[in-house]
Each structure stands twice: as C-alpha cells, then as structure tokens.
C-alpha cells in the first residue's frame, strides 16, 4: 500500500504541461543529490543576498552596475555549487532544437499574457513605467553595451532567484508536508510568482497590482517554461527575448523622440 501511495504522490502532469522526455526536477527528491532542508534555507538566503547586492550596491551608471548584476547571479549560483558540487549542472541542460522553439513560444505567450493583464491593471489601478532605460542613450555606446550585457546577467540572476526557491518550496511541500508532486509544483509555482512580483515592487513605484498581477503573471509563464523543459536555460532565453525586446522598443522610441 505504501508503494502505491508513493507512486500516486509522484504522478506527473500530462504532455500539455510536461514533456514526455523522462526529465525530472532536480534536488527536491534526492536526485541527483540529496539536499537537506537547511541547505535549501541557505540557498533561499543566498537569493536574498544576491538581490540585496543588486538593489543596494552603489552604481552610478550601467558600467558600474555590472558588479551588482554579476553578484546577483553569482551569489546563489556559488551556494548551489557549494551544496551540490558538479551536480549544479542539473539545473542547466544542453539545449536541443525544441528548446529554442520553446524559448520563442514562451516569450510570445509571455508578451500576450502580461500585455492583456497589464491593460486591465492599467485601466483599474494605473501603472508605472520601468525606468531601466531612462537616460541610457546619453551614455553612448559603452553604456548601451554594458546595459545589455548587464541585464542579460541580471536575468540569469532573476531565474535563479525564482527557480531555486521554486525547488525549495517543492522540496518542503513534497518531503515535509507529504503533498503530491503535482500539488507541490502548483503551489511552488504560485508562491514563487508572488515572491518574484514582490521583488519588483520598488521598480514599479510600489504599485502592488502591477507587481503582483502583471509581473506575477509574466513569472507564471516563464516558470512554466522551466516546468515543461526542466531547463533553466529555456526560461532564461524566453526572459531575455521578452525583456530585451521591451528595452529595445523603449530605446528606439526614445531615440525617435530625441530627433
């Protein structure tokens, strides 16, 4: 009976949500390496330390901002390596042709979902623009290159900031609360979308509706890319396509307005 219960608890989602490729989420169930609860706690604290470096490191321009952006990604990644050794690579899979298609698909899905939710939120609660590209053109090519390089690294940090806590919550719910695998995934998916939205509150002038509904909805789509492929590089690729498209449109608009 215990064996049947375990099998039921480990049941996967259907092909619409998960690919039938045999891949499983790493770390939450002892594969490929056992991760104790306290290690998950330290990993989440490393994510907090990373975002604290991003928010509070004194950087006057995008060139200087390369330091905190690299720290944002490096701190949690270093903690992951410390606890898992060479198994840190379980988070990063080799990209197959289908993975590039998934990047594009989830990028377009993200644009559609966040765009629709954004229009509703703007109509009801108002919205604030992302100030990331403000004054960027004034810094010249060096600053623009630094911006794209830095934001690319920052987006890796944002994926680690979400996916590591996602796996931590999944571990807690599956191993300690004895919930099923799929229930643990759904709850971790929702909880870390809220976590990600909360981290964006300062960016959007503490507009709670914008941070939790618009950014939270976008995060649900991006994390779904990870859930489907078990490859953080896919969610990262969709994230980069999404944000760089928005940044580039803003820059082109600013350049056109200047002329």
pLDDT (tens digit, 9 = 90+) per residue, 229-253? 999 999 999 999 999 999 999 999 9
Number of domains in the chain: 1
What rounded mean pLDDT belongs to the chain?
94
pLDDT tens digit sequence for 112-149: 999 999 999 999 999 998 999 998 988 899 999 999 99
Within-domain flag for 61: no
Within-domain flag for 64: no
Within-domain flag for 109: yes
Within-domain flag for 227: yes
Within-domain flag for 245: yes
pTM, two decimals, is: 0.95
- Report d(CA 41, CA 60) in Å as an integer: 33
Within-domain flag for 20: no
State the residue range of the domain holding 213. 92-258
- Report d(CA 107, CA 242) in Å as an integer: 6
**Six-digit token string for 137:** 């053109």
- Report d(CA 112, CA 134) in Å as an integer: 25
Residue 255 has pLDDT above 50, yes or no: yes
Within-domain flag for 193: yes
pLDDT at 4: 46
CB atoms within 10 A of CB 175: 17
- Report d(CA 130, CA 27) in Å as an integer: 35
Q: Torsion angle of alpha carbons 194, 130, 101, 161, nearest 10°?
A: -40
Within-domain flag for 206: yes
């Amino acid at each position: 009976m215990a064996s049947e219960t375990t099998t039921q608890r480990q049941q996967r989602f259907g092909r619409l949500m998960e690919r039938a490729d045999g891949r499983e989420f790493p770390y939450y169930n002892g594969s490929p390496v056992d991760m104790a609860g306290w290690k998950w706690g330290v990993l989440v604290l490393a994510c907090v330390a990373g975002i604290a470096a991003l928010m509070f490191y004194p950087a006057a321009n995008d060139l200087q901002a390369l330091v905190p952006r690299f720290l944002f990604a490096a701190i949690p990644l270093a903690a992951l390596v410390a606890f898992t050794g060479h198994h840190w690579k379980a988070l990063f899979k080799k990209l197959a042709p289908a993975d590039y298609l998934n990047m594009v698909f989830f990028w377009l899905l993200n644009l559609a979902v966040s765009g629709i939710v954004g229009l509703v939120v703007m109509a009801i609660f108002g919205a604030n623009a992302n100030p990331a590209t403000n004054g960027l053109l004034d810094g010249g090519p060096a600053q623009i290159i630094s911006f794209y390089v830095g934001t690319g690294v920052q987006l890796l940090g944002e994926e680690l900031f979400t996916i590591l806590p996602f796996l931590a919550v999944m571990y807690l719910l599956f191993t300690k609360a004895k919930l099923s695998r799929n229930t643990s995934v759904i709850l971790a998916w929702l909880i870390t979308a809220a976590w990600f939205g909360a981290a964006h509150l300062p960016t959007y002038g503490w507009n709670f509706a914008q941070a939790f509904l618009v950014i939270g909805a976008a995060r649900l789509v991006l994390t779904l890319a990870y859930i489907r492929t078990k490859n953080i590089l896919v969610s990262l690729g969709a994230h980069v396509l999404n944000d760089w498209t928005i940044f580039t449109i803003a820059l082109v608009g600013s350049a056109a307005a200047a002329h």
